[in-house]
Amino acid sequence: MNGAESLLTTLVNNGVEICFTNPGTSEMHFVAALDEVDGMRCVLCLFEGVLSGAADGYARMSGKPAATLLHLGPGLGNAVANLHNARRAQVPLINIVGDHASYHLKLDAPLTADIEGIAGPVSHWYRSSEDAARIADDALEAVQATAGGRTATLVLPADVSWSDNPHGARDKTEPPVPSQVPAAAIAEAADLLSGAQNPAILVGGAFVDRGLSELLSRIANTCGARLFVDTFPARVERGAGSAVMERLPYLAEMAIDALKDIDALLTVGCAAPVSFFAYPGVPGEIAPEAAAHRQLGMPGDDLATAVAALADAMDAHATDASLYELERAALPEGELDAMTAAAVISHYLPERSIVVDEGATSSFGCFPLTATAPAHDWLNLTGGSIGWGLPAAVGAALACPERKVICLEGDGSAMYTIQSLWTMARENLDVCVVLFNNRKYSILELEFARTGARGGVPGPKAASMLDISAPAMDFAAMAQGMGVQASIAEDLDAFAAQFAAATAERGPRLIDCRVPTLLS
Amino acid sequence: MNGAESLLTTLVNNGVEICFTNPGTSEMHFVAALDEVDGMRCVLCLFEGVLSGAADGYARMSGKPAATLLHLGPGLGNAVANLHNARRAQVPLINIVGDHASYHLKLDAPLTADIEGIAGPVSHWYRSSEDAARIADDALEAVQATAGGRTATLVLPADVSWSDNPHGARDKTEPPVPSQVPAAAIAEAADLLSGAQNPAILVGGAFVDRGLSELLSRIANTCGARLFVDTFPARVERGAGSAVMERLPYLAEMAIDALKDIDALLTVGCAAPVSFFAYPGVPGEIAPEAAAHRQLGMPGDDLATAVAALADAMDAHATDASLYELERAALPEGELDAMTAAAVISHYLPERSIVVDEGATSSFGCFPLTATAPAHDWLNLTGGSIGWGLPAAVGAALACPERKVICLEGDGSAMYTIQSLWTMARENLDVCVVLFNNRKYSILELEFARTGARGGVPGPKAASMLDISAPAMDFAAMAQGMGVQASIAEDLDAFAAQFAAATAERGPRLIDCRVPTLLS
């Protein structure tokens, strides 16, 4: 077999079953190998930011690495923003970056670029494969390097791809065992919580699953701690039957206020919380300086075992957890806005749905309103780089084809990776995009005021940089242009009817939801 | 004034008059400063790949650097692909990348990334400004660093932006003088051409202007050299009245054949030609190994003076140049395809129009057919990273508001930066996009065959990776969704009527031109 076939076979043998692709000439032997090797599903996307965001969404819901296939340095460059988000989400991910044949690089042909330089900031592991005879080993090492939620970037020169590999492929190799939290750290965490007057637990990181948060609720109830969930964990299992958790507010001022009375903070799976941005005169660290802090679990650690051990140490297993009971939000009346739309979404939210949240100011209301909705998963934008939501919805839907994906999306955010809609149609994914079309970078109006620039009031030129109303965008037209069924909702009845219909049917659909900005 | 105002004032004082922006929270003081400082036009784009491509197009047509305003590492990441193309185009360009306040970086907030790492592969000059008191000096140095067609990346931490700069701004400073080609190199070039039996001159690089190519034609006619223009110079002045030049073919096999009989090659403003990609068994270097080669002019050199000196040395000023006479292509008859569409475009091409060519297989026919059209400029994709055409058209139209821009665009290429259409509408730019909608990555079908993968014939899975017909894309709907007037042309009469109308009117317009793939 040639290098490409050896690579593909090794990936498939080691549990990599899906590849998001946007190939070019240097990847043609990889593409050809798809017909020679069974077991790799290939999903074509029209832009590389879709690939990397989709791989992230897929990994969050499957726990498994997806591969991306990228075209030299510039193709990797286009993937960087969502690779940044994926890195912050601690997902396993493998980039396959095609490159010129090794002997061609010295000629500095037009597409030659410093791939290693571009890969560095978004890769935990990097290698440019030097020899077809080594490609299977490189591929296996790349898969293993993704353990614990890391990104591996493997460069595949065209001649490595097309040359023969006499060693064939590598068989399945067990992945590395997750690292264990040291017993001393568990004892320190128990001491911290037991010795405090007003302790708090903040859980975050890659995956706040139902079992983890229920155990943390028992622990919190045992020691009288407040239980918070971080603002933007990668994935949270929540809704009816899940543990009651306060969400740490996004706004630093509000988050500081929420934690102001604590004297001890245990963070589980995440670092101590910090302000998303710096603002003149606002502290960057959210917890009070005087509060003692310990972190339980570094990225890649076995959190479930650690939290169970903490529950043992605190004798918390017999304490009741505080759980949400099922209570669907009532159907609202009145005008269509971000809050009434949130109530509609909460009212109709299908059981086991996956909510991908990149709605910014327009979806702030959806999170609290869905706390008592049927059980569901909630995926957050982890790295702050917008243009993640639509691609992540693609990946989540491919990981869980039997579950409905609800993508809460802002108009500004959507436009970074709007090409995702085409892949939704091509793969007939069960995604309903609620496109909050408020015709502003509304969050930037808020942020402008918070930074205190120009006394918090934008002048006319600044205001025009936050305003995307001219020309007004018709997302239904764009979606239809990419083969996605779409409708416009200009009032609450229309939105409720369209969302209800979307949840009752399968397949991709976009609702262009015309809401006023939350801040106006 | 604060750091942002000092930066903006210094840029304006030194000839940077336009900034393509996609700001976030860390850039709010820069945005606020736009209302305090006169002279900077700000153009909002919905995705950073549009910004960098627009800055490239602007610089090609104006000769002046544009600034981009980018949001931290991920925003810069989104700009990388078109910065790669801009680097290959040798255009001056300044990236302003907002960053967290310097004291906030240690907290590793979600958007924190290795900006320097991402910038490195696409920047000739890089600095993260450390102090508001130094920002004007940094800005001036950045502008100076763009001389000769280079990219400068200046990181603006939020606290540098909002802090007071007691020194104010820097006044206008003369840019560096272009470097001169050494007299010895000119003498060697003259010797090379004079001493050869079958010499050729190949001109390329940043800007093949009319004066340059006319002089080269005189030189070629003096010594019996063939005169070629490189496949993808950044900008070529051409059409009626310009010098006759053979275009070096894109396909390596054809390019090798075109040069096979030469015994000497003088390249002017560009390196010796190489194959775009490597193919098994095909040489990477285009010129015969036995042909002597010299290069006249490194990036940033004063080419006009060097070529005039060469003409002196060869006593070529009195020799006639070979010039194209005006001859408009006849209006074609028959089916709508890439060749008949090219004839229509050539027939109606407005004088002084700017053609931005990212049509790949579908626009191959346009270049030869427009050789005798009225004088116009032709901009090429220099770095091979598709998704450049629509943004470059934005920038070219802003640089030359009195000239018609014709953007020849492939369907696959268009989808990387389709958001450009919104900025065309917002700024009411005089751009006609001819969208060749053949529903394939047609060039990859060709490349698949050339690489010899799987005997040159894609299997079903490979074929599906090259096929973007399902779902079929309606670019007219997408354009209208972004506020651009659009129409669909399904036959030749419709296309001719629509293109004629587009050239007779002003303002943005897209023609969704339904052509069969050239290769089917």
Q: What is the pLDDT of residue B126?
A: 98
What does the pLDDT look like over A79-138, one tens digit per residue? 999 999 999 999 999 999 999 999 999 999 999 999 999 999 999 999 999 999 999 999
Minimal CA separation from B465 to chain A, in Å? 6
> What ipTM is given for this predicted complex?
0.97
Minimal Cβ distance to B422: which of A382, A419, A473: A473
Longest dimension (CA), chain B: 70
Q: Is the model's pLDDT at B518 over the cut of 80?
A: no
Domain with CATH 3.40.50.1220 in chain A: 183-314
Q: Is the dihedral of CA A251, A254, A258, A259 positive or negative?
A: positive
Is a pLDDT exceeding 80 seen at residue B165? yes
A497: enclosing H helix or E strand:
helix A492-504
Cβ count near A460 (within 10 Å): 8
Contact assignment for B478 to A478 by CB distance below 8 Å: yes
Q: How confident is the model at residue B454 (pLDDT cuts 50, 70, 90)?
A: confident
| Chain centre to alpha carbon of residue A149 | 12
A74: which chain B residues are within 8 Å (Cβ-Cβ)?
Answer: 80-81, 84-85, 383-385
User: In the prediction, which pLDDT does B51 show?
Assistant: 98
Contacts of A422 (CB under 8 A, 6+ apart): A45, A46, A482, A483, A484, B415, B468, B471, B473
Element (H, E) at B264: strand B264-268
Distance CA A157, CA A138 (A): 13
Query: Which segments within A359-427 are labelled E, that is strand?
Result: 376-380, 405-410
State residue A454's pLDDT score.
87
Q: Please tell me which of the candidates B32, B74, B448 has its beta carbon nearest to residue A383.
A: B74
B74–A88 CB contact, under 8 Å: no
Say yes or no for a CB contact (<8 Å) between A80 and B476.
no
Instruction: Say which of A32, A77, A158 has its CB closest to residue B81.
Output: A77
The mean predicted confidence, pLDDT, of chain B is: 97
pLDDT for res B307: 98
Give the mutation candidate from B8, B18, B20, B28 for the A interface (greatest A CB count, under 10 A): B28
Percentage of chain A beyond pLDDT 70 is 99
Q: How confident is the model at residue B295 (pLDDT cuts 50, 70, 90)?
A: very high
CA distance A267 to A252: 17
- Count the alpha carbons within 13 Å of B56 in the hemisphere toward its beta carbon: 35
- Give the mean model confidence (pLDDT) for residues A307-328: 97
Taking the Cβ of residue B331 and every Cβ of chain A, the question of whether any pair is shorter than 8 Å is answered with no
Whole-angstrom distance, CA of residue B474 vs CA of residue A481: 4
Q: Chains A, B: CB contacts under 8 A, how many?
A: 322
pLDDT > 80? residue A310: yes
For residue B451, what pLDDT is reported? 86
- B275: tokens are 């194959």
**pLDDT for res B452:** 87
Residues ≥6 apart with Cβ < 8 Å to A151? A83, A86, A87, A91, A92, A93, A94, A95, A122, A123, A124, A125
User: Cα A23 to the chain's mean position, in Å?
Assistant: 24
Architecture in CATH of B338-514 = 3-Layer(aba) Sandwich (3.40)
Model confidence at B379, in pLDDT bands (50, 70, 90)?
A: very high
Which whole number is the average pLDDT over B48-60? 98
- To the nearest whole percent, how much of chain B has pLDDT over 90? 95
Asked if the C-beta of B420 comes within 8 angstroms of chain A's C-beta atoms, the answer is no
Pairing between strand B376-380 and B235-238? antiparallel
Helices B183-195 and B210-223, packing angle to 10 deg: 50
Is it the case that residue B96 has pLDDT exceeding 70? yes
The confidence score (pLDDT) of residue A453 equals 87
d(CA B418, CA B480): 12
Q: In whole angstroms, give the CA distance from residue B188 to residue B294.
A: 8
Whole-number Å distance between alpha carbons of A462 and A459: 5
Contact B210, B239 (CB under 8 A): no
For residue range A258-306, list pLDDT tens digits in order: 999 999 999 999 999 999 999 988 999 999 999 999 999 999 999 999 9
Least Cα separation, residue A186 to chain B (angstroms): 24
Residues of A in contact with B23 (CB under 8 A): 444, 465
In chain B, residues with a C-beta closer than 8 Å to the C-beta of A470 are 426
Any CB–CB contact under 8 A between B304 and chain A?
Answer: no
Query: Is pLDDT at A238 greater than 70 in this prediction?
Result: yes
Give yes or no for residue B213 having a pLDDT over 80: yes
Chain A residues lying within 8 Å of B472, measured CB to CB: 483
Neighbour tally for A12: CB within 10 Å: 18
Cβ–Cβ contact A415 with B under 8 A:
yes
**Which pLDDT does position B519 carry in this prediction?**
62
Closest by CA position to A160, among listed A130, A115, A194, A124: A130
Residue of A31, A71, A473, A488 for testing the chain B interface, max B β-carbons within 10 Å: A31
Facing residue for B280 by CB, picked from A81, A162, A471: A162
Residue B520 reports pLDDT greater than 80: no
Nearest beta carbon to residue A104 from set B74, B80, B278: B278
Residue closest to A482 by CA, chosen among A506, A453, A510, A456: A510
Contacts of B80 in chain A (CB under 8 A): 73-74, 77-78, 80, 118
Alpha carbon distance B54, B60 (integer Å):
10
User: Residues A138-153: what's their mean pLDDT?
Assistant: 98
Q: What DSSP line would sit under B173-242, residue for residue? A: -PPPPPBPPPHHHHHHHHHHHHH-SSEEEEE-SS-B-HHHHHHHHHHHHHHT-EEEE-SS-SEEEESTTS
Asked if A35 lies within 8 A of B454 by C-beta distance, the reply is: yes
Amino acid, single-letter form, for residue A379 = L
Q: Please tell me whether residue A169 adopts helix, strand or coil conformation.
A: coil
How far is it, in rounded angstroms, from Cα A337 to Cα A491? 9
Q: What is the pLDDT of residue A455?
A: 87
- Indicate whether B334 pLDDT > 80: yes
How far CA B312 is from CA of A334, A429, B229, B296, B319, in Å, comes to 82, 68, 22, 15, 11
Are A25 and B444 inside 8 Å of each other by CB? yes
Peptide bond into A332 cis (omega under 30): no
- pLDDT score of A520 more than 60: no
Q: Write the CATH number of the domain with boundaries B3-162.
A: 3.40.50.970
Task: Collect all residues of chain A within an 8 Å Cβ-Cβ radius of residue B274.
Answer: 104, 107-109
Chain B neighbours among A 460-479 (CB < 8 Å)? 460-462, 464-466, 468, 470-478
The residue of B108, B115, B385, B444 whose CB has the most chain A CBs within 10 angstroms, and thus the best one to mutate to test that interface, is: B385
CATH T-level assignment (fold) for domain A183-314? Rossmann fold (3.40.50)
pLDDT band at residue A519 using 50, 70 and 90 as cut-offs: low
DSSP, residue by residue, A56-120:
HHHHHHHSSPEEEEEEHHHHHHHHHHHHHHHHHHT--EEEEEEE--GGGGGG--TT---HHHHHG
Residue ranges, CATH 3.40.50.970, chain B:
3-162, 338-514
Which pairs count as long-range contacts for A298-302, CB under 8 Å and 24+ apart, including other chains?
A298/A179, A298/A181, A299/A90, A299/A148, A299/A149, A299/A205, A299/A206, A300/A90, A300/A147, A300/A148, A300/A149, A300/A150, A300/A178, A300/A179, A301/A148, A301/A178, A301/A179, A301/A180, A301/A181, A301/A269, A302/A178, A302/A179, A302/A180, A302/A181
Instruction: Tell the burial category of A293 from Cβ atoms under 10 Å away from its Cβ (0-12, 13-18, 19+).
Output: middle
Residues in chain A with CB shorter than 8 Å from the CB of B464 are: 42, 44
Query: What is the CATH number that goes with domain A338-513?
Result: 3.40.50.970
Task: List the one residue out of A395, A420, A427, A435 whose CA is nearest residue A507.
Answer: A427
Q: Would an 8 Å CB–CB cutoff place B47 in contact with chain A?
A: yes
User: Coil, strand, or helix at residue B70?
Assistant: strand
Q: How far is residue A282 from each of residues A253, A452, B37, B413, measured CA to CA in Å?
A: 7, 11, 27, 45
Neighbour order of strands in the sheet with B264-268: B246-247, B226-229, B199-203, B264-268, B292-296
Nearest CA in chain A to B484: A471
Whether B494 and chain A come into contact, CB under 8 Å, resolves to no
Q: CATH 3.40.50.970: which residues of chain A?
A: 3-162, 338-513
Nearest CA in chain B to A116: B121
Q: What angle do CA A261, B106, B131 make, to 5 degrees?
A: 115
Interface of B with A in 258-287 (CB under 8 A): 271, 274-278, 280, 284-285
- Does the pLDDT value for residue A518 go beyond 80? no
How many angstroms separate the CA atoms of B351 and A482, rounded?
Answer: 35
CB A157 within 8 A of CB A106: no
| A172 interfaces chain B, CB cutoff of 8 Å | no
Q: Which residues from B are below 8 Å from A448, CB to CB?
A: 28, 31-32
Strands A235-238 and A376-380, how do they pair? antiparallel
Residue B462, Cβ density class (10 Å: 0-12 exposed, 13-18 middle, ≥19 buried):
buried
For residues A81 and B449, which has the higher predicted lDDT (pLDDT)? A81
Rounded Cα distance, B215 and A303, in Å: 73
CB of A232 within 8 Å of a chain B CB? The answer is yes
Task: Find the mean pLDDT for residues B120-143.
Answer: 98
A459 neighbourhood in chain B, CB within 8 Å? 32, 34-36
Burial of B382 (0-12, 13-18, 19+ CB in 10 A): buried
Which residues from B are below 8 Å from A508, CB to CB? none
Phi, psi at B319, each rounded to 5°? -75, 140
Sort A381 into a burial class: Cβ within 10 Å, 0-12 / 13-18 / 19+.
Answer: buried
Which chain B residues in 65-84 lie under 8 Å from chain A, judged by CB atoms?
72-75, 77-78, 80-81, 83-84
| Closest alpha carbon to B152 in B332, B254, B16 | B16
Residue with tokens 């490194």: B298
B window 13-42, beta carbon within 8 A of A: 21, 23-26, 28-29, 31-32, 34-36, 42
Residue B67 Cα distances to A84, A424, B124, B134, B417, angstroms: 24, 35, 15, 19, 19
Average pLDDT over residues A318-330: 97
A507 touches chain B (CB under 8 A): no
